[in-house]
Amino acid sequence: MISFPNCKINIGLNIVRKRDDGYHDLETIFYPVDLKDAVEVIRSEEISFHTTGLAVSGSAEDNLCVKAYSILKKDFPGLPPVSIHLHKAIAMGAGLGGGSADGAFMLSMLDKKFQLDLAEEQLIKYALQLGSDCPFFIINKPSFATGRGEKLTPVQLDLSTYTMVLVNPGIHVSTKEAFAKLKPSTPAISLQQLIEQPLNNWKGKVINDFEEPVFKLYPAIEKIKNDLYAAGAVFASMTGTGSTVFGIFDSAVELNLTFPDNYTYILLR
């Protein structure tokens, strides 16, 4: 069985408060984007994990695809061993949620392949064990997320008539360092309300709280956002804790963008 985990962008990201358990409450809009990895699962004599495409850091045991299998194996001891092949096209540590998508899709694949008959709510609980934004990829529809990111409310948001540009400068942003420089606060207007406004009203209102500290540390990331606006973007923002920046353009706009050769530049129409 094969599936194609897609990535996401954060449209706005507000860190509301630090919780007693060490995590943070947030609010964001998760929006699925049509840039995909590929994951294949084959029944095998023993569990194995292989990768192609972009380099995947860390050990096999730490990969979320393998962790997804291990989580289900605890509750379903009869789950047979599998060979997992991951072809990586979504940059890691780039704010796109590629690893989270791989893990969540793996849960869904194992459920279908071995007829575990898990309800969506059960899959979401398993996904949360993998990471805070993994539950989104079980639903995989535009959603307003609160809590750690696991409390999801579907929203009516369709950007399919626009052109989207993703730019990644290959800079690794430390999530821990980014959080350390934040001062949590409750936004005056919820993102859930703001995204109901026309897209051309979002600039300056739909905010990613991580931009200010990350831009101070890495001015090159801020420059990408400024360049996207200079090229005519209706809205541009860093996604997650970075370092990917996305721009949303009217499809009629003729794009003339140039970035350094070591940047990854993806155009999605």
Active site residue 8: yes
> Residue 253: what pLDDT?
84
pTM of the model: 0.94
> Residue 269: what pLDDT?
83
Omega before 243 within 30 of 0, i.e. cis: yes
pLDDT in tens, the chain (269 residues): 999 999 999 999 999 988 888 778 899 999 999 999 999 999 999 999 999 999 998 899 999 999 999 999 999 999 999 999 999 999 988 899 999 999 999 999 999 999 999 999 999 999 999 998 999 999 999 999 999 888 999 999 999 999 999 999 999 887 777 778 788 888 889 999 999 999 999 999 999 999 999 999 999 999 999 999 999 999 999 999 889 999 999 988 888 899 999 999 999 98
| 24-38 b/e (C-beta count within 10 Å ≥ 16 → b) | bbbbbbbbbbebbbb
Catalytic pick from 8, 67, 88, 225? 8
Contact call for residues 92 and 126 (beta carbons, < 8 A): no
* Beta carbons within 10 angstroms of residue 77's beta carbon: 6
Q: How far apart are CA 248 and CA 195, in angstroms?
A: 14
User: Could you tell me the domains of the chain?
Assistant: 2-154 (3.30.230.10), 162-268 (3.30.70.890)
> Residue 266: what pLDDT?
93
- Tell me the per-residue pLDDT of 184-198, one tens digit each, with 9 for 90 and over: 888 889 999 999 999
Active site residue 133: yes
Strands of 6-18's sheet, edge to edge? 6-18, 24-36, 143-146, 151-154
- CA distances (Å), 54 to each of 64, 86, 91, 200, in order? 16, 10, 7, 35
- CA distances (Å), 131 to each of 124, 127, 253, in order? 11, 7, 37
> Residue 92: what pLDDT?
87
Residue-level length of the chain? 269
Contact call for residues 12 and 206 (beta carbons, < 8 A): yes
Dihedral sign (CA 90, 266, 235, 223): positive
* Beta carbons within 10 angstroms of residue 147's beta carbon: 17
Catalytic pick from 37, 111, 133, 209? 133
Give the residue from 191, 130, 125 showing the smallest Cα distance to 5.
130
- Tell me the per-residue pLDDT of 16-53, one tens digit each, with 9 for 90 and over: 988 888 778 899 999 999 999 999 999 999 999 999 99
Q: How far apart are CA 192 and CA 174, in angstroms?
A: 28
